[in-house]
Amino acid sequence: MLSAALGRRSCSCVRRRRRLCPTLPSSSGCPASPLSPSPLRILSSPSSSRGVQGSSLQPGANNVKPLEGVKILDLTRVLAGPFATMNLGDLGAEVIKVERPGVGDDTRAWGPPFVGTESIYFLSVNRNKKSIAVNMKNPKGAKIIRELAAVSDVFVENYVPGKLAEMGLGYEDINKIAPHIVYCSITGYGQTGPAFQRAGYDSVAAAVSGLMHITGPEDGDPVRPGVAMTDLATGLYTYGAIMAGLLQRYKTGKGVHIDCNLLSSQVACLTHIAANYLNCKMEAKRWGTAHGSIVPYQAFKTKDGYLVVGAGNDQQFVTVCKILNLLEVSKDSRYKTNKLRVQNRKELIEILSARFSEKMTTKWLELFEGSGVPYGPINSMQQVFSDPQVLHNGLIMEMDHPTVGKIAVPDLEKVCNCVPRELVWRRLQWRSVPEGYVHRIQGPAVRYSEFSASKPKPPPLVGQHTAEVLKGTLGYEDNAIEELLRTGAVVQHEVK
């Protein structure tokens, strides 16, 4: 079984680690010196221009990613943590995702839609990762996690505070064997306080933090944002915090415990809404697509859709009036300044809305083009992924999945050539993605001049890399791995 899982994989990586850390045992176990199992943990002088010893590549070297050589042990599930570690993987980090044997990450069951047996939700936030299936409640499984922590740079988890400590995997436990570790905890409410032991989900945190109070139609009920913005914001905070933790370790030679949580992330993102209350005791309200402090800045209904227009200053407002052929409005004393426009919002919006309703969206797009006023249509997903700028920005990535192969949401233009459009959309509301298409996902939002995030590795199967990591990273012998498999401490997924 192991030969099928590992093929003819060499142990050169283990020999290389032994040269870096001569005390590494030949079978299993942790290095005696957890500060030096990889080149990126051998700290150079803070005055070094590179910041890391072992990096002999010169500026301009072809496609060298900034986190190559950084190892991340990822115990997170669902969205915030996986989103953070996926972004770190895009920058070259080796991400080892620890999953429960059998079921794996919770999101593997979230659907439809599925492609084959794989959840599209899971596939969307787990590229560039290896998966190991470890039963952490088994003492042998917990031992493997400690061994991996000792040879990793970053440890990320999103368990309820205290849960990992019960298994000997809390920060204090890991810090004893790996004082170099950047240990990042993601929770719903933080490590301490009256609510710290509550489980945290995006919608609940969005409600408690006030986000849902300010989201929705002006006279309607609170609304959950269309994507899990609290989870995603926490993921981005986590991503930045881990990068800061690595820099902090470079400066001090010590690891750090990072506390990220959904509540704090979303409250921090309230920005001016929070400041309005804290400084002026101004209670927030829902504005639909409009803005509480800028007018006009909202969606306007056209003959066939919606157009969002934002006039952030007085000159832009004059330009909007010219495009709408409402010059008399721009000269009206009630609308001369943004403050006055906010005070007279209702009357002004009625005038502008009546004019926008007279033309098709495409016509308004033509009229606003080159005006300097921010504008754009409200797009469906089909329109988003056929938008010329989205295509130009390289936001669509293709990958081959290990079991389903070339799979994807259908290319609508190709499908629409052979079946009625209404049938296409009926097929898109489903249960399962048709086989035979290339698997496409949205790619990283950021581009860099010296390297690219091209050729991503596909999201893994549960336990796809268990034997590979045990042998290649920890130096386990085949018989030791076979014993772990036999006892159920780990599981290896066989790729056929």
Among the residue ranges 61-65, 299-303, 439-443, the one predicted with the least confidence is 439-443
- Which helix (H) or strand (E) segment holds residue 239: the answer is helix 229-252
Residue 120 has pLDDT above 80, yes or no: yes
3-state secondary structure of 491: strand
Mean of the per-residue pLDDT values of the chain: 84
CB 375 within 8 A of CB 368: yes
pLDDT at 490: 97
Local confidence band at 426 (pLDDT 50, 70, 90 cut-offs): very low
Give the bridge partners for 106, in sequence order.
Answer: none
What positions carry a catalytic annotation?
A: 231
pLDDT at 427: 35
CB-count exposure of residue 195 (10 Å: 0-12, 13-18, 19+): middle
What pLDDT sits at residue 2?
53
Q: Is the pLDDT of residue 421 over 90?
A: no
Share of the chain above pLDDT 90, in %: 71
Q: Tell me the residue ranges of DSSP E strands in 164-313.
A: 182-187, 256-261, 297-301, 306-310
Whole-angstrom CA distances from 195 to 191, 205, 209 are 9, 12, 13
User: Residue range 200-212: average pLDDT?
Assistant: 96
Q: Is residue 330's pLDDT more than 60?
A: yes
Higher pLDDT, 84 or 22: 84
In tens, the pLDDT along 137-195 reads 999 999 999 999 999 999 999 999 999 999 999 999 999 999 999 999 999 999 999 99
How much is the pTM?
Answer: 0.83
The CA R_g of the chain, rounded to the nearest whole Å, is 26
Residue 411 has pLDDT above 70, yes or no: no
What's the pLDDT at 454?
A: 64
Q: Residue 325: is its pLDDT beyond 90?
A: yes
Q: Phi and psi of 92, rounded to 5°?
A: 105, -5
Can you tell me the distance from the alpha carbon of 36 to that of 44, in angstroms, rounded to the nearest whole number?
A: 12
pLDDT, tens digit, 9 for 90 and up, residues 225-253: 999 999 999 999 999 999 999 999 999 99
Please name which of 101, 186, 105, 180 lies closest in space to residue 141, comparing C-alpha atoms. 101
Instruction: State how far the Cα of 413 lies from the Cα of 484, in Å rounded to an integer.
Output: 50
Task: Decide if pLDDT at 287 tops 50.
Answer: yes
Looking at 56-60, 190-194, 345-349, 439-443, which range is the least confident one? Answer: 56-60
What integer is the mean pLDDT of 92-100? Answer: 97
pLDDT at 319 over 50: yes
Provide the token pair at 239.
């991503």
Strand blocks (E) in 14-88: 71-75
